[in-house]
Amino acid sequence: MSTRKTKPIGLSSILSRDEMNDKHPGTHTVPIYQSSTFIYESAEKAQQVFRGEEEAYIYSRWSHPNAELVEKKMEQLECYGLDLKAKALVFSSGMAAISALFQSVLKRGDAVIAQGNIYGTTVDYLNHYSKEWGVEVLYADLKNLKDVEALLRQKQNVRLVYIETPSNPTLQCYDLSKLSGLAKKYRALTAVDNTFATPYLQQPFKWGIDFIVHSGTKYLNGHGTGLSGFLVGRNTGFIKKEVWKIRKLNGTIATAFECWLLNNGLKTLPLRMEQHSKNALFIARALEKHPAIAKVHYPGLKSHDDFNLAKKQMRLSGGVLSFELKGGNKAAQKLMNKIRFCKLTASLGTTDTLLQHPASMSHYFVPKTQREQFGITDGLIRLSVGIENTEDILEDILQAIK
Ligand SMILES: Cc1ncc(COP(=O)(O)O)c(C=O)c1O
């Protein structure tokens, strides 16, 4: 046997291959395990598995090979180059992962501090959850660290600080290292929605964050073909026991087919994120000069308040930007009706360019006062820049603004 120590393989190598083992003999890629349940060769074996003495699949609501494959890749992605181990669980959607986080961490009487400018349905969930489950939701500007510390000091019941960076749809960035340090001082946990950046561009664990959530529907799948989500935690025991139980009870694991699609997307994630970021920077720079646009929000622009922070926390600035039309709602409606090449839809993270109006679409359910307080105005357009030729994207936006 060779005693030579082998170097760990690189990130693109991990993602682009399916490491085959004796669980999937003879195939090149992992097949779709379209089976609701799994069988045992004997009564004794079945009983050992149910008693937890033998590891084997039991029922696809609990786990299945396609789920395990993408979970392993996600753990490696979020921890790549870091000296730590994490556990990931895949869910049927980003919201299923986010709600599993809240359900497992927050108990009646606890409080959560969150930004007001996060994904609209997360706000909707928190507002609903706080009423129905007796959890206090405290919205704060997480850039104002003094206010965050005052809240943590004054409210002894803060269990979780919930961060989304870059935020949806205003592309604000938050200092993960400072926020995780503050939370630790007051014995609170931290969670980051890493959907916009993906772990290829940003690794929240590097900055001391406890939990990471993703909408896998976006860049991780990458092609707009399915819904999925992830919850990843550095406390592997907590994820395996508490979060896994919630997923099993709620039945919110992603199906074998969704995981198979997700695995195909993960194979090209680094390539796509490089191109999305390059294209978005090109479009952001061009739109910044346009007389009908008051402001472009993109962390890769020098004019962005968080340019330096994004440079520190992120490898590149990602594929999403938003811009504020001087003409407000009227100009936004006109643009939405005039685009031809870009597509009008609420999602993001696909190979083609998608555009939407947060005030009347993704953030419609966020109360107007809260929306406006956090910069989600009637003239704001969110653009998920695809990997097409940039001239085609730009030409379409320019003709639609005219
Ligand atoms: C930042 C962010 N987080 C979470 C979600 C929810 O993900 P899903 O739609 O997969 O439930 C979305 C969806 O748009 C999102 O943009």
pLDDT digits (tens, 9 = 90+) for 164-191: 999 999 999 999 999 999 999 999 999 9
Task: Residue 217: name the closest of 345, 116, 80 by CA.
Answer: 345
Ligand 1: residue of 119, 126, 173, 366 to mutate (most ligand atoms within 8 A of CB) is 119
Q: Is the pLDDT of residue 131 over 50?
A: yes
Q: 347 C-alpha to center of ligand 1: Å?
A: 8
Query: What's the pTM?
Result: 0.96
370 or 157: which carries more pLDDT confidence? 157
Burial of 336 (0-12, 13-18, 19+ CB in 10 A): middle
Residues 283-332 pLDDT 10s: 999 999 999 999 999 999 999 999 999 999 999 999 999 999 999 999 99
Residue 21, pLDDT score: 64
Beta bridge partner(s), residue 139: 114
What's the whole-number mean pLDDT along residues 260-276?
98
Question: Can you tell me which atom of ligand 1 is nearest the CA of 228?
Answer: 10
Chain segment 21-53, per-residue pLDDT in tens: 667 778 888 999 999 999 999 999 999 999 999
Tokens of 251: 């039945």
- Which is the closest atom of ligand 1 to the Cα of 217? 10
Q: Given pLDDT bands bounded at 50, 70 and 90, which one contains residue 5?
A: low
Question: Which residues form ligand 1's pocket by a CB distance below 6 Å?
Answer: 93-95, 119, 121, 164, 168, 193, 195-196, 215, 217, 227, 229
Q: How far is CA 256 from the centre of its chain?
A: 20
Asked whether residue 208 carries a pLDDT value surpassing 50, the answer given is yes
- Residue with the larger pLDDT of the pair 384 and 2: 384
SS3 content of the chain, % helix, strand, coil (to 5): 40, 15, 45
* Tokens of residue 258, six digits: 């969704």
Q: In the structure, what pLDDT confidence band is assigned to residue 7 with cuts at 50, 70 and 90?
A: confident
Structural domains of the chain, ranges and CATH numbers in brackets: 11-266 (3.40.640.10), 269-401 (3.90.1150.10)
pLDDT at 1: 45
Nearest Cα residue to atom 16 of ligand 1: 119
Predicted pLDDT at 4: 59
Is pLDDT above 60 for 2? no
Residue 87: which pLDDT band, with cuts at 50, 70 and 90?
very high
Q: Ligand 1 pocket check: which of 101, 167, 195 to mutate, most ligand atoms within 8 Å of Cβ?
A: 195
Q: Is 70 exceeded by the pLDDT of residue 20?
A: no
Expressed in angstroms and rounded, the spacing between residue 93 Cα and the centre of ligand 1 is 8
| Rounded distance between C-alpha atoms, residue 393 and residue 326, angstroms | 21
Gap from CA of 13 to ligand 1 centroid (Å): 27
Averaged pLDDT of the chain: 95
Of the candidates 200, 196, 198, 158, the one whose C-alpha atom is nearest the C-alpha of residue 179 is 158
Q: What was the pLDDT predicted at 116?
A: 83
Residue nearest to atom 12 of ligand 1 (CA): 215
Q: How many angstroms separate the alpha carbon of residue 335 from the centre of ligand 1? A: 24
How many angstroms does the Cα of residue 336 sit away from the middle of ligand 1?
22
- Could you give the percent of the chain with pLDDT greater than 70? 98
Cβ-count burial 83-118 (b if 16+ within 10 Å, e if not) = eeebbbbbbbbbbbbbbbbbbbbbeeebbbbbbbbb
Beta bridge partner(s), residue 293: 325
Over residues 325-351, the pLDDT tens digits come to: 999 999 999 999 999 999 999 999 999
So what's the pLDDT on residue 22?
67
> How does residue 148 score in pLDDT terms, banded at 50, 70 and 90?
very high
Q: How far is the CA of 242 from the centre of ligand 1 (A)?
A: 22
Ligand 1 centroid–CA 354 distance in Å is: 15
Tell me the C-alpha distance between 263 and 280, whole Å: 25
Give residue 3's pLDDT band: very low, low, confident or very high (50, 70, 90). Answer: low
